[in-house]
Amino acid sequence: MTRILALVWPTLRSGRDAPPGSGAVDVPAMLDRLDDLSPRVEAVDRGVALVDVTGLGPALGDTGDERRIAARAVALVREVAPLPVRAGTGENRWLAVLAARLALAARPDPATPAAFGAIPAGPAARRTLAVLSLDLLPADPATRGRFALFGLTTMGELAALPRSAVGAQFGAEGERLQALARGEDPRPLAPRRRPERLTRRVGFEPPMEGIGGTALLLRRCCAELCDTLRARHLAPGRATLTCELEDAPPLVTALAFPEPALEPDWIARLLLGRLEAAARSRRLHDPSDGDEEPRVAAIGLALDRLSNPAARQLGAFNVQAGRWEELRWSVERLTTRFGPGRLWRATTERPRAVLPERRARLTGLGHDATGEEEP
């Protein structure tokens, strides 16, 4: 017997943001926490997650029932974001989500989630559904109107009709809705694959003066992680550098590679260049920081989007897009290597202009694009 736990976050579904002061909601981190409960977790949509909790009762002790399993799941996700959540369990994904929607806000036990509902398994599920309104079915307004024309108001009335008759009157969509009204949902749970992420963090005691001073350690972190991945025939597609400052919010910069890269020198140099640019930009927008170099308490490096570079297959229809990405990547590397003000992009503006200096426009690449132009 399969049991599915559905977690529904109403504020995420309605598009409202997290409570003030809590920052952006890290949904992937919430799902990662659910992985600690069950290996089968599916992110259905923003604000809905399904967890396969079949057989988890004994794992949580002799008294482990579904209410306690749901409480455990809610406690896990609330460690990441303390959002209001509804939980429900059912025999399949439809029943689980429906149970969560119908969950009452009563809290008979502090250990239970704020709102929990359960639809029992077997024939009892059909009896539970029978009294529910048809408005709860995921039907379009036209189908709802036709149900009303036929005098159907509850799921029990729709479920009791012969399937062939429903198919004749309402088509395949009607048959699907009737199956839901009977508590049947053949859609299996599609567990998400937890993305692997290699991280390394280095702390400084006392804090280091200036971001540039971390270059050597960052280079070493990159080399260590790249060596680990090379031994597994993997390469990262993205690198993220977090710089924890002593008396300011952390600086975070991410670098997505056009193709998997295992070049620690370049990864470190490009990340550091971007981080320094972000630090300069912050000083520019917040002059209260003054001209003092930031004091770095720790740096954290994360490599993810891992793939096997040898097995990389180019798309048949986006070759040009891939080339532009590779060109952008090459240009960025050249800019870093030769410094600002040495690399220029020429854009043809008036190819038939009489004066040659008006035929093309030169734009500097890098940070300080001033100086003499060259074609």
Q: Name 148's Cβ contacts closer than 8 Å, sequence gap at least 6.
A: none
Tell me whether strands 343-348 and 360-365 are parallel, antiparallel or unpaired.
Answer: antiparallel
Of 35, 6, 23, nearest to 81 (Cα)?
23
CA 156 vs CA 141, 161, 164: distances in Å = 20, 9, 17
> 191 or 341: whose CB is closer to another protein?
341
Nearer to another protein among residue 196 and residue 373 (C-beta): 373
Residues at the interface with another protein (CB under 8 A) = 354-357, 362, 372-375
Kindly state the smallest distance separating residue 332's Cβ from another protein, in Å. Answer: 24
CB of 362 to another protein, least distance (A): 7
CA 87 to chain centroid, in Å, comes to 21
> What is the helix (H) or strand (E) element at residue 53, kind and residue range?
none
What distance in Å separates the CA atoms of residue 34 and residue 188, rounded to the nearest whole number? 18
Q: Is 321 or 362 the residue whose CB approaches another protein more closely?
A: 362
Q: What is the largest CA-CA distance in the chain?
A: 89
Judged by CB, which is closer to another protein: 205, or 374?
374
The CA distance from 221 to 96, in Å, is 44
Query: Six-digit token pair at 191?
Result: 């567990």
Task: For the CB of residue 357, give the shortest distance to another protein in the complex, in Å.
Answer: 5
**Least distance between another protein and beta carbon 354 (Å):** 5
* Smallest gap from residue 349 Cβ to another protein (A): 13
Nearer of residues 280 and 345 to another protein, judged by Cβ: 345
Looking at beta carbons only, is 156 or 366 nearer to another protein? Answer: 366
Residue 111 and residue 80 in contact, taking contact as beta carbons nearer than 8 Å:
no
In the complex, the smallest distance separating the C-beta of residue 348 from another protein, rounded to whole angstroms, is 13
